[in-house]
Structure 1
């Protein structure tokens, strides 16, 4: 039977070649789309590592003539007055890199012969409490830590996982990363760019280094009580204007900033999925059209087969198998080229997501082909041989 099917397919090679190319193109597109979607959804599912809900970000401008002691005194006064507000639960000052702000600082160095690259985030000793950061080892740096021999830092779990996987704890280790620092704590996973950001090694630095460079922390993260953001913003604005003597105060919602930060990945994903949906609809319509055309042209063949004793199931199976053979050939060719992407490491995306993409594309196309081929095949099987032969 298989040999007979191949002969029939060869006789209809023009129509089958169009189906072959259509399925091959669909596989390539779906493979790429699903690999991209699976990769980014895997990133999305990994935790941010801090609380952004009911939290606002603030940017202000201090007088450039203030020295370090005056800056610290002003920051402490602002913090005291802000915490005294009934709707404020916690507040902290941060440096030039703010969560979901889109900016990135990185530094690199060599530690014990190993090249280390880490992102940098600047925050005061209150940030751990304000952002509700989960610590997996050690603690967030405190005021007492600032009095030690080395400047304290906190690193995220990816830092330890990537560079010191075999060490039980790196707390109290001294590293020369942008200067000599002692690690006092390790957070869990921490991503501050967006939900789709890579879980990259990250190091937190206290304000004392930025003060030495004349760049004090002029941004804040403030966590509010639930549903009090709108009524509290004006009071916070007035407080900051009174203390800084400057009206250049900007307040924003971190939850809204997170949505903005996610859009560069979320929007392309939605567009690609919509395009893939239209592509699958076109495949389904194309298969219906080709099969109905073939059935009308092969009515005599169908009638003769049924007159010779072929059952409706056998006729249905013939048409379904013809389409499935073309589909399998197209999918095998597409899968052959698709697996070269992870095998040759052509992109930085981990290979497993390409294999997931191959599996998803094959499954969806196979299901659509089966569904679209069954209905016309059943229609062909329902033809009465006497009626068909009489027409011919």
Structure 2
């Protein structure tokens, strides 16, 4: 039966070529959407490495460059801790669930293994404020004052890349400068399993959390991170802003709950997926209309052939199954060609981890299932119409 169906498809190859091309393109589009959606789901399952439920952020916006004055930041911390709703206060270069990003190149002390790292400067209280857990070593603190190298906490991804099979604690690396000399030296004091500042849909990157000390260096911390006591109402924002204005009235403060920042970030990150899904849905509707029309036309042109099969003893069910089986075989051929092209992507690593093997196989299965469903739905009515023809009507059809 299969051999017979393949012969029928091959004899009408000129008619089926455009139909196969249409199915192939539809499969590629659906595959892209499915792969993106699965990658989003895969990323969402990974921990971000920081809390958000009771955390608030305050972004400082000054008319002039923010000074790194230890007296100012000490005053901010003491004043905010006096508020009964505030459990902890910390400072950072930028907040989590923001589009801000800071990257630079670093290498081992001998200049080898150069990597681009994402980084963030944070104060000693940042880890407790953000409910972070240490996986190895410790978080930096005052005991690192006057150390021979800047203490840093890195994520597991970076530790495994730079120090495979070794204890990363105590290891040194340096910042790459244009002159390749006198770069800042860093010593690893702790490792966290994960840290993704952009939230659930951020791709894992090499991340380092360096120690920021008020008054040390020119760079000031632009974000105040707060951990509030559970049950703190949203109306606390008014009192918080008033307290900050008492400290520095010439600065503006953008106060955001991390829950709101997270929701906004998730919404922003899913916009491309939603847009592509709408485009794909529109394309599939067009493909369905085209597929239905072509199948109807092909069935009409094959009425004498169908009548001959009925006259030779084939019943209505046989005709029905033949029409559907031919369309499924045609779809299978188109999808196999598409998969032969797509499999090159994970093999060559063009998209890196974004298209890993679990995502590839999952997207291929989902896409194939949708295309088969579309083919089945579009062939049901033409097949039913062909199956209703009596042998006498079909053989006398012109």
Shift of 1:116: 3.5
Query: Which residue of the partner structure matches residue 178 of structure 2?
Result: none
User: Which of these residues, 348, 358, 365, is aligned with residue 359 of structure 1?
Assistant: 365
User: Which of these residues, 187, 191, 196, is aligned with residue 186 of structure 1?
Assistant: 191
Query: Which residue of the partner structure matches residue 271 of structure 1?
Result: 275
Structure 2 contact 62–252 (Cα < 8 Å) conserved: no
Counting only pairs closer than 5 Å after superposition, residues 176-255 of structure 1 correspond to structure 2 as: 176-177=174-175, 179-208=184-213, 211-226=215-230, 228-255=232-259
Counting only pairs closer than 5 Å after superposition, residues 8-47 of structure 1 correspond to structure 2 as: 8-9=8-9, 12-47=12-47
Secondary structure at the residue paired with 2:235? helix
1:97-129, Cα deviation, whole Å (9 max, x unpaired): 322332222232321532233221111111101
- Aligned counterparts of 1:116 and 1:16: Cα–Cα separation in 2: 51
Query: Which residue of the partner structure matches residue 163 of structure 2?
Result: 164
Q: How many residues align?
A: 387
Shift of 1:187: 1.3
Structure 1 contact 60–240 (Cα < 8 Å) conserved: no
Distance 1:281 1:226, change over 3 A: farther
User: Which of these residues, 76, 79, 82, is aligned with residue 78 of structure 1?
Assistant: 76
Structure 2 contact 155–207 (Cα < 8 Å) conserved: yes
Query: Which residue of the partner structure matches residue 103 of structure 1?
Result: 100
Query: Which residue of the partner structure matches residue 179 of structure 2?
Result: none
Counting only pairs closer than 5 Å after superposition, residues 325-364 of structure 1 correspond to structure 2 as: 325-348=329-352, 349-352=354-357, 353-364=359-370
Q: CA RMSD in A?
A: 2.9
Structure 1 contact 23–327 (Cα < 8 Å) conserved: yes
Structure 1 contact 89–225 (Cα < 8 Å) conserved: yes
Shift of 1:226: 4.2
Query: Which residue of the partner structure matches residue 144 of structure 2?
Result: 145
Q: Which runs of 5+ in 2 are unaligned?
A: 176-182
- Aligned counterparts of 2:303 and 2:79: Cα–Cα separation in 1: 87
Using the size of structure 2 for normalisation, the TM-score is: 0.85
- Aligned counterparts of 2:4 and 2:172: Cα–Cα separation in 1: 75
Shift of 1:189: 0.5
Distance 1:229 1:146, change over 3 A: farther
Distance 1:334 1:146, change over 3 A: same
Shift of 1:339: 2.0
Query: Which residue of the partner structure matches residue 286 of structure 2?
Result: 282
Query: Which residue of the partner structure matches residue 307 of structure 1?
Result: 311
Shift of 1:263: 4.3
Structure 1 contact 134–187 (Cα < 8 Å) conserved: yes
Distance 1:239 1:314, change over 3 A: same
Residue 73 of structure 2 corresponds to residue 54 of structure 1? no
Shift of 1:90: 1.9
Distance 1:291 1:215, change over 3 A: closer
Secondary structure at the residue paired with 2:277? helix
Secondary structure at the residue paired with 2:48? coil
Residue 319 of structure 2 corresponds to residue 321 of structure 1? no
1:328-353, Cα deviation, whole Å (9 max, x unpaired): 22122222222223334433344423
Shift of 1:294: 3.1
Using the size of structure 1 for normalisation, the TM-score is: 0.87
Distance 1:384 1:79, change over 3 A: same
